[in-house]
A and B are shown apart, each in its own frame.
Chain A
């Protein structure tokens, strides 16, 4: 926890290393930085300090490390990084809970754009493959939606807290950004829309979208659920999706499919 026990508080520093990569094609390398310690620092404050003084611990002039961040309260999903080997949001990664030197690197499964910024476009694209929406007729004032029990609401809300952050995909041994397995994030969203009475009308198309995108590749490692910052029931979603896929296949075989 505290690596600087002998130092007085005013002299304490935080040591951290950032994995740098100038362009998508260039070699990655590490740079080490130091910043004065204060109570309640998080990784975002370290990166802000590095932007203010982009000088390495050895005194070499560097550049501000590029990174994604927006809400800084773990609800937008932007600032996902690998910190001390664990994928998580930089905003909720508190310095005092991390061994130093803290290592900060981009997620490894997504293409690096620059430094800590990665390209997560595929996560948003995959939502199109599974038609992740409720197909309402239009925005005219047509009255209330269908009644929903508190239990159904709680189930839907759990899936709907997914902030497309990428932790589950980074930790999944089967997922990669360019092919094959669609991954737990989109599977859970498919299940979410299949719960809703309006969304249900597209269930077959959604399930087909999952099957076409490697639903069966899941190896049940369950890493996804362990790293999800919002405790989305990814394991439950995958098992539900598999059951929906089985039903869909049976319908195809029996000739009741579209």
Chain B
């Protein structure tokens, strides 16, 4: 690299999924004329293999065909998130959504089409409008590829440098407290290196690995956000973890069966048992269907939204069916998700055009053809509504020069994310907020990071090297994989669908025990070439801290809101209509929980009721 290249301003983006690539594309475009900024894109995996490829069902944007509006999208999102999201940012996102779909259309995403050749839409959960644009059942993959292509174009013009197969470890800060670099490790050579940068965007997605098995990819380990938290970044709404209602089991991971299956007419059912009862919203006791006949319990309980109630509600209903009413399929913890009638009525090819991606996953893993028989599904940990705290306007975290985007931020989904809003929030935050704001920050700093004394970076590299050496030299009897399994099991048992304070307290004690035992591990590979065992141990170290953020946030929130459900506190409580903030206390090595006000200036909070269509106070009509 020539010295003039070295003297350009740099922006590091950590993570090459939808948020990271959107930011990379935007920054490169903003630098196209002056060529004054270079993007350095870091990713554990080649960016084309990022977890965004797992997003199946689609991306939301209001469209003109069904009387939908961006305001209705905004209202559905706020209401679906049980009013925990800041309203200003959510409104901006929903307003920007139609243009985002157009942009992907221009980039060539093969969205499914209507007969006229326009982008087709389907309905998703928590709305009565079909506003979800989709490309088969692999929409995330197709959006990611479109961005990957544009970023490759900029890469070939020298505006983007990719560091694929590198893992972010920590950030460096200058004397003014602004981020001036990152420390990262090469996953093959294991070399640890400093990269002086003028702004940093964290777009590393969610922390599914904290739960052991989830619908997340192996790369979703939460290290980057937790490392920043331990360097002083605030972490917001950690306890809001979405459990998706429909997934299939596996010893290695839980595989998502998209909400789009229900959007296309899929029905959730179990065999009824009239000797058992449930209580409806008017307090009337009603039988659990007809004995021996399919009972479409979501359709009966929620006549307005049916199978497309929001995820938190569908998940709790399935949990009740299985564990309280004991109506799971053949007594096992599964319910049916049925699309076979669509195949019978409209033909196999019709169904494949809409859902092939997921039906093929089901058939490959279960050996059964879902065109013919109902799928057996159960809820699985899926998404983190919480993430790094960031400013509503700029997406800068409380650490100067560090920005958050995508699932790694916290702003857009409140207490429960609506399906097909995650791809939107990733692209919106990368393209419209974090990308441009990082450019502004990088251009405005007085001294460029490359001008700073090398000692700052050398000291930080040494810190990381010493820590990894320390892990490598441990020689105790504990196995990192088994500690991770214990963490995953207790988190899944106590910090998912149903939460109670005693179990949460025990979970926190257990995590602290695991943290002690962690220092008695042996890393089973002492090599210095493509050593995955040391990376795994290092990730586990941070997962334990992140787990405590989630657990303590849940413990202290004595209410039920969206995905956070405590039977002892079954209603929302206005005192908790606040953002949870976790900050790391170095002395106690624990999170300190505090709360921050929420922007509810546009839509006054109202109780959620998906059994009927309601009218919002601001006049949004159909919801």
- Chain A contact residues, CB within 8 Å of chain B: 22-23, 38, 40-42, 44-45, 48, 51-52, 54, 63-64, 66-78, 91-92, 94, 113-115, 117, 120, 124, 127-128, 131-136, 138-139, 141-145, 147-150, 153-154, 156-157, 160-161, 163-164, 193, 196, 198-199
Contacts and interface: CB of A to CB of B under 8 A. Distances in A.
Tier of interface size on chain B: 35 or more
A138 B29 contact: yes
B527 A113 contact: no
A139 B49 contact: no
B575 interface: no
A12 B250 CA distance: 19
B99 A141 contact: yes
Contacts of A148: 110-111, 113, 117
Name the residue among B25, B249, B530 with the largest chain A CB count within 10 angstroms. B530
A92 B364 contact: yes
A72 B48 contact: no
Contacts of B107: 134, 136, 145
Nearest to A78: B49
A78 B108 contact: no
A144 B102 contact: yes
A70 B152 contact: no
A40 B365 contact: yes
B217 A64 contact: no
A54 B524 contact: yes
Dominant SS at the A interface?
Answer: loop
A132 B107 CA distance: 11
Contact of B141 (A48, A139, A163): A163
Contacts of B25: 139
A161 B136 CA distance: 10
B165 to A, nearest CB: 9
A45 B217 contact: no
A196 B533 CA distance: 44
A45 B251 contact: yes
A64 B49 contact: no
B620 interface: no
Contact of B103 (A70, A71, A72, A139): A139
Nearest to A133: B149
A119 to B, nearest CB: 9
21 contacts: A22-B527, A40-B250, A54-B525, A66-B530, A70-B217, A70-B219, A92-B364, A94-B364, A94-B367, A113-B188, A132-B149, A133-B150, A134-B149, A138-B29, A145-B106, A145-B107, A148-B117, A150-B113, A153-B112, A154-B353, A199-B108
A163 B29 CA distance: 26
Shortest 7 CB-CB distances between A and B: which pairs? A145-B105, A133-B149, A147-B117, A114-B530, A157-B110, A141-B99, A145-B106
A124 B46 contact: yes
A156 B149 CA distance: 15
A95 B387 CA distance: 37
B532 A69 contact: no
Contacts of B50: 70, 76
Contact of B53 (A23, A76, A145): A76
A139 B29 contact: yes
A143 B119 CA distance: 13
Given A45-B252, A134-B108, 20 more contacts: A42-B250, A63-B524, A66-B531, A71-B49, A72-B217, A73-B255, A73-B256, A75-B138, A77-B49, A117-B530, A133-B152, A134-B107, A138-B29, A144-B105, A145-B106, A147-B116, A157-B136, A161-B136, A163-B49, A163-B141
